[in-house]
Amino acid sequence: MESVQAIKQRFGIIGNDPKLNRSIEKAIRVAPTDISVLVTGESGVGKESIPKIIHQLSHRKHGKYIAVNCGAIPEGTIDSELFGHEKGAFTGATQTRSGYFEVADGGTIFLDEVGELPLTTQVRLLRVLENGEFIKVGSSKVQKTNVRIVAATNVNLFEAIKKEKFREDLYYRLSTIDINIPPLRNRKDDIHLLFRKFASDFALKYKMPTIKLSDDAVSILIKHRWNGNIRQLRNVAEQISVLEQQRTISASALRGYMPDVDSNLPAVISTSKSESDFSSEREILYKVLFDMKGDLNDLKKLTMELMKSGNAQDVQKDNEGLIQKIYGEENDNYEDPNMDNLEVLSIPEQVVESNTVLEDNTQDKYHFAEEIEEEETLSLHDKELELIKKSLERHQGKRKLAAAELGISERTLYRKIKQFDL
């Protein structure tokens, strides 16, 4: 069995971080078996090196090694890419095609960004992992394959499982062995080593002297967070190698390629609302609407009491609690015996002009109240018909004036007249 150091030299892996060495050691130990492996880590940490190590150290090293970026294949074609299809299976399928699982029989398939797989494809993949069987798109024939699967992801699959975007049973079949690659910010001693390696490579590539960092620049390089990990560090080294004329890079020059090096920004908090937030807001809105409906009913009750009794002082005394509920504590002036503020109740003028008129016309008063109750039961159709009739009568049948008053076009009014047969 090869040593960790020998494997790093063979596959061009730079660094001596203990966590990185532990990940490589796990890959070496699991390689001779056919156990499924899940490689986890942030984007840009170099996860693609682990499946290559596993394949080259396994008994499948003479078989095919196929790397598939699951996030780069459209959802509609990924089943065809992985499992193949029959001629005529879908529009454009002019001939039978072999998928990756058929082509890589006896070898290894690396499924990068496996968390991006659609749920339907996850079901097919689970079947391959369980019994090595798959069916081409558009076919009913079950085929066998002997493939070693190594998957990788930079997303939290537990969160994806909670959101029902990833199957839990598939996760446990893929992650028999979990190998985690640490982010670059946790490998402080490796950062300068990697930068020097990249600087040397680009010097050879572009045929120019190798860049070097001053002591202050090295300090800044190591303290940087490197959210893009090794990929970001490589890009910075390439930019400096090409753009800088001076081959010794100062701290100020390096800062120009890392504008956020000294920023201590707070964590970004997502402003997107979850389903529970929307549900809570909806419940509050319903409660407010129900409360408003209750207040409106109380206001109608108070108005009806006033119209039926004709005695404003008695109504105030008997309904003091109701008035307090509707108008609140700030309206203490309701205690005024003159009841001047009862205008807010919007009672028709003919009702409140004189208490004596109401007392002498009890029959008319109750008839008016019954009319109000009857109006409340009118349908929208009846209400619309009544408004159109009144407007036409008021304007002596002139549709243009009636339409302007109703706030509709003359054409709409004409259609309504035909509809209601007016």
The three-state DSSP-derived secondary structure of 36-101 is CEEEECCCCCCCCHHHHHHHHCCCCCCCCEEEEEHHHCCCCCHHHHHHCECCCCCCCCCCCECCHH
Segment 333-347 mean pLDDT: 43
If one compares 345 and 286, the residue with the highest pLDDT of the two is 286
Superfamily of domain 4-182 in CATH is: P-loop containing nucleotide triphosphate hydrolases (3.40.50.300)
Give per-residue pLDDT as tens, 345-376.
444 444 444 444 444 444 454 454 445 444 44
Cβ neighbours of 89 (radius 10 Å) = 17
pLDDT at 267: 47
Does the pLDDT of residue 89 top 80, yes or no? yes
pLDDT, the chain, mean: 82
- Residue 264: pLDDT band by 50, 70, 90 thresholds? very low
Give per-residue pLDDT as tens, 90-114.
888 899 999 999 999 999 999 999 9
Q: Name which of 267, 190, 262 is nearest 225 in CA terms.
A: 262
Give per-residue pLDDT as tens, 207-250.
999 999 999 999 999 999 999 999 999 999 999 999 999 999 99
- C-alpha span between 137 and 83 (Å, rounded): 7
pLDDT at 313: 64
Does the pLDDT of residue 327 top 90, yes or no? no
Share of the chain above pLDDT 70, in %: 75
pLDDT at 269: 46
- C-alpha span between 151 and 161 (Å, rounded): 16
Does the pLDDT of residue 28 top 80, yes or no? yes
Flag the least confident range among 100-109, 201-210, 251-260: 251-260
- C-alpha span between 351 and 375 (Å, rounded): 17
Does the pLDDT of residue 76 top 90, yes or no? no
CA angle centred on 360, ends 354 and 361, rounded to 5°? 90
The residue extents of the domains of the chain are 4-182, 185-255, 288-377, 378-422
Flag the least confident range among 48-52, 244-248, 265-269: 265-269
Q: Is 109 exposed, middle or buried (0-12, 13-18, 19+ CB in 10 A)?
A: buried
Report which DSSP code applies to 353.
S
If one compares 319 and 147, the residue with the highest pLDDT of the two is 147
Percentages helix, strand, coil for the chain (3-state, rounded to 5) are 55, 10, 35
- Residue 282: pLDDT band by 50, 70, 90 thresholds? low
**Cα-based torsion angle of the residue sequence 6, 10, 13, 19 in order, rounded to the nearest 10 degrees:** -40
- C-alpha span between 202 and 183 (Å, rounded): 23
Segment 29-53 mean pLDDT: 96
Number of helices followed by number of strands (H, E) in the chain:
21, 9
If one compares 319 and 336, the residue with the highest pLDDT of the two is 319
SS3 category, 27 = helix
If one compares 208 and 258, the residue with the highest pLDDT of the two is 208
Does the pLDDT of residue 129 top 50, yes or no? yes
Residue 236 Cα distances to 52, 199, 240, angstroms: 26, 10, 6
Does the pLDDT of residue 84 top 50, yes or no? yes
Spatial contact of 212 and 248, defined as CB atoms under 8 Å apart: yes
Segment 320-333 mean pLDDT: 55
Superfamily of domain 378-422 in CATH is: Homeodomain-like (1.10.10.60)
Does the pLDDT of residue 168 top 80, yes or no? yes
Cβ neighbours of 414 (radius 10 Å) = 12
- C-alpha span between 224 and 218 (Å, rounded): 10
- What is the architecture of the domain spanning 185-255? Orthogonal Bundle (1.10)
